[in-house]
């Protein structure tokens, strides 16, 4: 029984990950055969060697911690602001929504890089301006999805709960948050992905540490293996962040049916 299941899981993994393995093999072959110009394309073996040396000398750890903590603080701040705001906008206070809604919709279209210089002027060249940038890109998906989640709560459930004498706080906990949880999670996932994606250009423009800096430094100094290694690390982190949110959603939103796609 367990053996069967393990075998099934392995087959699945093979089918789904096989293309990645094949791609890496072809890449290595192309590099070994000299088909790819060595000055522009580093082979997977070289990348792994470089990665290993960065792990050993601790620089990988140092840069990753810097980047991840920037992304984390920006993201957490955005969530802390956006979730309550989204809930309020989504129907708690009608007049608040009527006044704030259009402005927020408009602000959500602002390009963070247009604001980059403004953030620099306001917050200086330190950590705060980068965290502010991440905050800016992460806040909108969470805000809009939270508002959408609250708006799509079944009014029948709310009425039912009210008629049974449920108070506002309990209503929030028992009806509104569970009903909007799946929207909330998709907002969080999108925000985390965008935050990490935008962190790299943000670090390229004005930082002296972090993964984005590592890559721009490699570009400027023409260290191709270093460049690919940095890219690989960023991709792996991106995958891990996505996986983390998927798992979290599965653990928290247990009542949601699996999507049939």
158 binds another protein per the rule CB under 8 A: no
Among 200, 207, 210, 245, binds another protein (CB under 8 A): 200
68 binds another protein per the rule CB under 8 A: no
Per CB under 8 A, the segment of 2-10, 69-77, 174-182, 221-229 that binds another protein is 221-229
128 binds another protein per the rule CB under 8 A: no
Nearest approach, Cβ of 134 to another protein (angstroms)? 13
Phi, psi of 51 (to 5 degrees): -60, -45
Complex with another protein: residue 176 or 216, whichever CB lies closer: 216
Complex with another protein: residue 79 or 136, whichever CB lies closer: 136
Nearest approach, Cβ of 19 to another protein (angstroms)? 4
Nearest approach, Cβ of 1 to another protein (angstroms)? 26
**Which residues lie below 8 Å from residue 198, measured CB to CB, with a gap of 6+?**
112, 133, 134, 137
114 binds another protein per the rule CB under 8 A: yes
33 binds another protein per the rule CB under 8 A: no
Count residues near another protein (CB under 8 A). Answer: 62
123 binds another protein per the rule CB under 8 A: no
3 binds another protein per the rule CB under 8 A: no
DSSP state of 221: T
Take residue 149 and report the two structure tokens written for it.
């989640």
76 binds another protein per the rule CB under 8 A: no
56-74 core/surface letters (b: 16 or more CB in 10 A; e: else): eeeebeebbebbbebbebb
**Residue 228 near residue 42, CB atoms below 8 Å:** yes
101 binds another protein per the rule CB under 8 A: yes
State the residue for tokens 């982190």.
237
126 binds another protein per the rule CB under 8 A: no
136 binds another protein per the rule CB under 8 A: no
CA distance 83 to 23: 41
18 binds another protein per the rule CB under 8 A: yes
Per CB under 8 A, the segment of 68-76, 116-124, 166-174, 177-185 that binds another protein is 116-124
135-166 core/surface letters (b: 16 or more CB in 10 A; e: else): bbbbbbbbbbbbbbbbeebeeeebeebeeeeb
CA distance 120 to 167: 45
Phi, psi of 61 (to 5 degrees): -60, -45
CA distance 254 to 179: 12
CA distance 84 to 18: 43
Residue 5: Cβ within 10 Å count: 9
Nearest approach, Cβ of 4 to another protein (angstroms)? 21
**Residue 147 near residue 109, CB atoms below 8 Å:** no
Which positions touch another protein (CB under 8 A)? 15-20, 23, 37, 40-41, 89-90, 97-106, 108-118, 120-122, 137, 143-144, 147-148, 151, 197-198, 200-202, 204-205, 215-216, 219, 224, 227-228, 230-231, 234-235, 238-239, 261
């Amino acid at each position: 029984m367990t053996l069967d299941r393990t075998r099934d899981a392995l087959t699945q993994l093979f089918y789904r990950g096989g293309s990645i393995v094949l791609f890496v093999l072809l890449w290595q072959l192309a590099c070994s055969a000299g088909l790819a110009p060595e000055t522009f394309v580093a082979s997977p073996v070289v990348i792994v060697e470089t990665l290993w040396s960065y792990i050993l000398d601790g620089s990988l750890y140092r840069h990753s911690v810097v980047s991840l903590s920037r992304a984390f603080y920006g993201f957490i701040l955005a969530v802390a602001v956006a979730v309550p705001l989204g809930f309020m906008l989504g129907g708690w206070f009608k007049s608040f929504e009527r006044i704030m809604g259009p402005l927020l919709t408009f602000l959500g279209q602002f390009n963070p890089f247009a604001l980059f210089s403004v953030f620099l002027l306001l917050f200086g060249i330190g950590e705060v301006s980068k965290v502010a940038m991440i905050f800016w890109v992460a806040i909108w998906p969470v805000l809009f999805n939270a508002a959408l989640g609250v708006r799509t709560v079944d009014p029948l459930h709310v009425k039912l709960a009210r008629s049974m004498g449920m108070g506002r706080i309990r209503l929030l906990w028992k009806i509104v948050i569970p009903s909007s949880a799946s929207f909330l999670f998709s907002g969080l996932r999108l925000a985390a992905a965008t935050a990490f994606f935008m962190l790299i250009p943000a670090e390229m423009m004005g930082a002296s540490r972090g993964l984005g800096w590592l890559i721009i430094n490699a570009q400027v100094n023409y260290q191709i293996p270093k460049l690919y290694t940095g890219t690989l690390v960023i991709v792996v982190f991106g995958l891990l962040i996505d996986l983390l949110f998927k798992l979290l959603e599965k653990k928290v939103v247990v009542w949601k049916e699996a999507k049939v796609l």
